[in-house]
Structure 1
Amino acid sequence: MSADPLAQELLALAEAAAREAGALIARYAAEGFAIGTKSTATDMVTEADRAAERLLIERLLGARPGDGFVGEEGAREAGSSGVRWVVDPLDGTTNFIYGIPAYAVSIAAEREGQVVAGVVHDVAHGLTYSAALGGGAACNGRPIRAREGAALATALLATGFAYDPARRAAQAAMTARILPRVRDIRRMGSAALDLAHVACGMLDGYYEYRLNPWDIAAGGLIAREAGAVTGGFGGYGFEDGYVVAAAPGLFGALAELVDRSYRETAGT
């Protein structure tokens, strides 16, 4: 099965825009930037986040002026074409501020509400993970596949934590129940990259909750097109920001463990 022509067109546009935004972010990393905060004192935003979002609006809507747009930094366009761009211009802002090389540009294109193209561009490493619906997944143009064969006890997972202190405490309690049942857990600080790393086999699985559409839209498609399964837990779906992702052989056991751990800790 191959992606349809519109999905391929959207993917090509997203890849070019993501790399250009990545180059802009890299310049800020080299030359410096101002820092502000959003929802809490630990929820940071930089000049680079906002400049990259402006660039992506210009490139994506400049090429397709009838499309909708929603970005993490507040950009909203309703659109009339049936296509909407869902964008995180810099996923992993805290890593970026601290110089930790784990931050990305995430761009997804939805058609009539379904994600049909996705790009996660790892700025620090120059890796562009991409997928079009029905066309498979790739990294820098080479096909990638999720890792098969991991049992729960030997699975390497990733997760993440919210900015709100009470929610972080609940997530920590949940993770304390999961950690003894698996090989280990990584916390890398970018949901988009965590999903891309499941797609390429760098991780066996990933879970997190209360994520936003721009965190998971592109990475979710890339993971699925690489052969992973994505789903939700706690009575919520993937599209609600309650995320489990893993290869098919691991997904059921991981999703059951995550769901039980979430319910036991009354995740908030």
Structure 2
Amino acid sequence: MSLAEDAALAARVVRDAGSLAHRMRGEGLSLRNKTSISDVVTEADHAAEELVVRALAAARPGDGVLGEEGAAHDGTSGRTWVIDPVDGTYNFVAGLDWWCSAIALTDGDDLVLGAVHHPATGRTYVGGPGLPTTVDGVPVGPLADRPLAESCLTTYLHPPEYDGEVGAAFSRMVGGAATLRMLGSASMDGTAVASGALHVRCQHSLPPWDELPAAALVLGAGGAVQRIDAAGVTWSAAGAPTAVADVARALVG
């Protein structure tokens, strides 16, 4: 299979997953908390993940899968599809529009591509290190470089972590930004960074389904990604190259 064929498949499955979740939200949902009041899951998360897993099993039977809601299969090809059926579930449940369905493809340790579908606008983003990022097939254009001091940083830190070493590192980072947003969906934040609406994203302890789809889009737009060990956790930054470097310096202190 070609990179173009993988990209088309990724775009299709996230559109289908996002459309299913959007329809289920309109019909009413039950939910439960996972780790906290802001970490929730619904039957739409599970149904959308099952849809993606079935589609991938039919189209790429040798590939593995890793899903936020429990899907896990190693496969035989060395490739793995990383699935986030509903990213931004708190927003999804609350009736806010900043949520999406997202997927990434890895080949061993290499990130191949990411795709994100935003049901509120109907837009689908696809890109990767060797695949210029597009929205509905239109290139987003090269990402403009800028320092953190001239950037809008999108991030999140769970309030109980504001104190201590993690909170201190976070304060150093956000203190260097021109402005700050906490919007509640890591992959949607990545679409905004890749398209230039926001400029850099950074959060700690991101699981692969929250980190990789956005990282692929940012790389496909000419941005940079970096993992930074600071305050006993690993932070994932993606965005304008100079801003990413500034974030890394601020976190380490």
The answer to whether TM tops 0.5 is: yes
What is the TM-score normalised by the length of structure 1? 0.86
The answer (yes or no) to whether the contact 1:7–1:133 under 8 Å persists in 2 is no
Question: Counterpart of 2:161?
Answer: 167
Name the count of aligned residue pairs. Answer: 251
Shift of 1:30: 1.3
Flag the 1:53–1:241 CA change in 2: closer, same or farther, 3 A. farther
Identity of aligned residues (%): 34
What amino acid maps onto 2:223 in structure 1?
A: A
Query: What is the RMSD computed on CA atoms of the aligned residues?
Result: 2.1
1:9-48 equivalence runs, <5 A: 9-48=5-44
Question: Counterpart of 2:221?
Answer: 226
Shift of 1:214: 0.7
1:10-159 equivalence runs, <5 A: 10-145=6-141, 147-159=143-155
Flag the 1:8–1:169 CA change in 2: closer, same or farther, 3 A. farther
The answer (yes or no) to whether the contact 1:104–1:120 under 8 Å persists in 2 is yes
Is 1:200 equivalent to 2:190 in the alignment? Answer: no
What amino acid maps onto 1:24 in structure 2?
A: L
Q: Any idea what the Cα deviations from partners look like across 1:16-67, whole Å, max 9, x if unmatched?
A: 1110111101102211111012223432100110110010011111212221
Q: Any idea what the Cα deviations from partners look like across 1:204-261, whole Å, max 9, x if unmatched?
A: 111110000011111111101101110021269xxx962112212333223212332x
Distance in 1 (alpha carbons) for counterparts of 2:148 and 2:66: 36
What is the TM-score normalised by the length of structure 2? 0.91
Question: Counterpart of 1:253?
Answer: 246
Shift of 1:132: 4.1
Distance in 2 (alpha carbons) for counterparts of 1:235 and 1:241: 6
| Unmatched tracts of structure 1, length 5 or more | 261-268
Flag the 1:173–1:133 CA change in 2: closer, same or farther, 3 A. closer
What amino acid maps onto 1:211 in structure 2?
A: L
Shift of 1:152: 2.6
Flag the 1:34–1:158 CA change in 2: closer, same or farther, 3 A. same
Flag the 1:66–1:166 CA change in 2: closer, same or farther, 3 A. same
Distance in 1 (alpha carbons) for counterparts of 2:245 and 2:196: 18
Distance in 1 (alpha carbons) for counterparts of 2:228 and 2:183: 21
What amino acid maps onto 2:237 in structure 1?
A: V
